[in-house]
Structures are given as structure tokens and as C-alpha cells.
Amino acid sequence: MTTGHPELVAAIASEIGRHGPITFARFMELALYHPQFGYYMRPSDPGTERIGWDGDFYTSSDVHPILGQAMAKQAAQVDALLGYPDPFTIVEMGPGKGLLAKHLLSHCQLMSKSLAQRLRYVLIECSPAMRALQQEQLRPWLRHSGPVSWLEDISSLAPGSITGLMFSNELTDAFPVHRVEKVGHGLKEIFVEVRDGRFVERLQEVSTPEIKDYFRGLHIDLPEGYRTEINLRALVWMRQVAASMNRGVVITIDYGHSAEDLYGPQRSKGTLLCYRSQMASEDPFVRVGLQDMTAHVDFTTLATAGAEAGLSVTGFTNQMSFLMGLGVDEMIAQLTPETPEFRAALHLLTPEGMGRTFKILVQHKGLEAPTLDGLIFKPFFGSALSRHAAA
Ligand SMILES: C[S@@+](CC[C@H](N)C(=O)[O-])C[C@H]1O[C@@H](n2cnc3c(N)ncnc32)[C@H](O)[C@@H]1O
């Protein structure tokens, strides 16, 4: 039975009624980002939150400030490599509750007066409700004509306008994805229709040739019955990031894999998951608009799209190696062992926590291939992101 936010369910059903079956990507877009009723777009119900220990899911920034502290150290190194520009701009895309921004800005202030003075911090957030939460977190920086500002969409950044660091944590996995299934020798796309008052799947011809091109570019021929997701929106976004960068570094943190791993035999049902009250479910047609939906990121295709748009790959690593390279072991050594804070910090680092699932793609533009502390440790072979590794 379809359950969910009543007005949202009605709005999606009405669109299907008017236009016929919609792609799963369109369904996910409406469920998460319908301007009035979408999961991320509505203010949270009183006494509840989306992101956090008491929310539907938590992110690294809820666990401990060390990711923000490490990002500040990495930003300071990029600042030095760029020759201390004024302004040095940090663009955070998809900032969630604004905790990572708070941790990063606080640490920049502690670390370097010069950087704090030259810093301009732009948050790109599509949801008015999330922007309000971010403003709450960042109140100390909003008092005077402070360094912090907001944009609703990355397309508002002028081409070549950013000298500095552009980064995101768990943004790309929240973009709407197309879903496909291999039927016989052909690839079909999952559409959504209404039957007996319920949202149900319907397999149709793919809605865009980009889907078949995607796998052709990867030299991947999925086996019969294989189901998976394709994040075309992430590629558009990556090109927008590349276009707005003048000189600097791009850091994309998310759970994901190389294409070879993501589209390998062990993930034959795809990676789409929905989260409500910290519980994962595979059913996107319940709690519509009341649960988060995510799919793992294909870092190979993301890196290729970036390279085609002018962003060179600096490196690819996991969160554990990134944090270790930025001296997180020293930060943790200052904590009292076995306290909740100590255990939280370790959770970000350890393979069984968030250390290995989360991957980090680093790219640069307008710089000689930079040596960055976050990339000192190398958990993968150099060819991990090669499109031909998947052949
Ligand atoms: C999972 S949350 C990110 C969590 C956060 N970065 C953290 O570290 O806790 C995804 C965020 O991206 C925002 N978002 C999604 N699509 C976006 C887009 N196209 N442009 C800007 N923000 C977007 C959502 O509203 C939400 O704030």
C-alpha cells in the first residue's frame, strides 16, 4: 500500500495521471525535492529532525567534528598552494544541517588568522528548510557582513569565479537516479505508474540514449536480470563544478565505488536504499516523502565527466586514509580513551565504521598536480578509477 505525505502522493499521482508513467528518477526527484512537499524541502515536523542521531540517518558531521577539522587543514594547504589568494573561497554543496560548515569555519579561525580574514564561505543549498537550519548553526558568522553566504543552485556561480576549494559530503548520493534492468539482451528502464491506488514499477524502453552510452563508455555489459542505478544528475553537477572553478581543488565525499565495483556481480540488485528513523528499507513506494532515498556513487564516471570538463584527478581514497593523512590520529590521541567522544571519532575512521565505505575523490584545476596531505595514504591502486578496469 502506498503510504506517505498525502499531498505529495497526490501530486505524484496527478503527474502520472496527466503524463503517463514517469521515470524512477522523476519519482525520486519529486519524493525528495518537490518544491512544497518533498522530503528535503518541507520544514521538519516539530520535535523531529531528518539528519542526526534522532533523525532518519546521520552523517559524519553528526558523529564528531574531526571531519570538519581535517577539511580545514586540507583547505589551509590548498590556500598555500594557491599563493594565499584574497578571497580564498570555500564552496560547500549540499550542506545538510550546516554542522560541517560550523566545524570547518571554527577550526579555520583557530588555525590561521590570515585564512580566516580572507575566507569567503558559500553554501549551495536547494532547500529553504535546510537553509534555515544552516543559518541557525552558523549564527556566529552572520552577525556583521561576515564571510558566509548562500546560493540556491550551483548554476548561480559565474563561470571561472572560484579560486579555492569546492566540496560536498553526501550530496551526490542524494541526487535522483535512473534505474535500469537487463532483460534478455536489452536494457530497460524502470518507470513508475499507479495501479489500484499504489505506485508500482513498469519496465519500458530507456528514456534517454545517455543511459546506454553510460555503460558503453564503461565497457560494461550487464548480465541478464541485473538491476542498478545511473546518476546522470551527478555528471551534470560535476560539469557545473568544473565550469565555476578558476583555480583550486574539488573534494567529493560520498559512499560509493569505482564503476568496476559498483556494477560488479556482488551488487546485482543495485544500491538504492531508503532511510526512516535509522532503519534501511528497499521499498521507495512506502513512506513517500517521509523517508530519505540514496544510491551509491559511481566515482569512475564522475571522475571521467570532471576530466572532460577540465578537472584533473588528484587522487581517490577512502575516509580512513584521508583522515589519517590529515593527522586525525594526533587529534584522537588527545581524547580520553573509551569515552563516547573517543569512540565516535574512531567510528569515522575504522573500516567497520565509516572509514572504508566513504570514498573521497579529489580533483584540481589551474594548479600543477598538487601533493595533498589527505592523499598521502593510498588504499587503492592508481588504476582504481580506470574505465577500462571494468572491461
Ligand atoms: C544528505 S544531505 C548532506 C549532509 C551534509 N553534507 C552533512 O555533512 O551532514 C544532502 C543535502 O544536499 C541538499 N541538496 C540536494 N540536492 C541539491 C542540489 N541540487 N543543490 C543544492 N543542494 C542540494 C539537500 O537539501 C541536503 O541539505
| Structure confidence by residue, pLDDT tens digits, 2-46 | 689 999 999 999 999 999 999 999 999 999 999 999 999 999 877
Ligand 1 centroid distance, CA of 173 (Å): 9
pLDDT for residue 204 = 98
| Whether the CB of 96 sits within 6 Å of ligand 1 | yes
Determine contact, residues 91/162, Cβ cutoff 8 Å. yes
pTM of the model: 0.95
Ligand 1 centroid distance, CA of 8 (Å): 20
| Whether the CB of 100 sits within 6 Å of ligand 1 | yes
DSSP type of residue 296 = -
- Mutate which of 29, 40, 49, 169 to test ligand 1's pocket (most atoms within 8 Å of Cβ)? 40
| Whether the CB of 59 sits within 6 Å of ligand 1 | yes
Determine contact, residues 11/30, Cβ cutoff 8 Å. yes
Mode of pairing for the β-strands spanning 279-281 and 273-276: antiparallel
Ligand 1 centroid distance, CA of 126 (Å): 8
pLDDT for residue 1 = 61
- Mutate which of 93, 100, 122, 126 to test ligand 1's pocket (most atoms within 8 Å of Cβ)? 126
Alpha helices in the chain (DSSP H): 6-19, 24-33, 60-63, 66-81, 99-111, 113-118, 128-137, 209-218, 232-244, 259-262, 299-308, 319-325, 328-333, 340-349
Distance CA 42, CA 345 (A): 31
| Whether the CB of 61 sits within 6 Å of ligand 1 | yes
Q: 6-390 — its CATH code? A: 3.40.50.12710
pLDDT for residue 46 = 75
> Half-sphere exposure of 340 toward its Cβ, with a 13 Å CA cutoff?
1
Ligand 1: which atom is nearest the Cα of residue 169?
A: 6
| Whether the CB of 147 sits within 6 Å of ligand 1 | no
| Whether the CB of 174 sits within 6 Å of ligand 1 | yes
pLDDT for residue 161 = 98
Determine contact, residues 299/351, Cβ cutoff 8 Å. no
| Whether the CB of 374 sits within 6 Å of ligand 1 | no
Write the residue with the smallest CA distance to atom 26 of ligand 1. Answer: 96
Q: Kindly give the parts of the chain with pLDDT less than 50.
A: 389-391
| Cell reading at 28 | 525520486
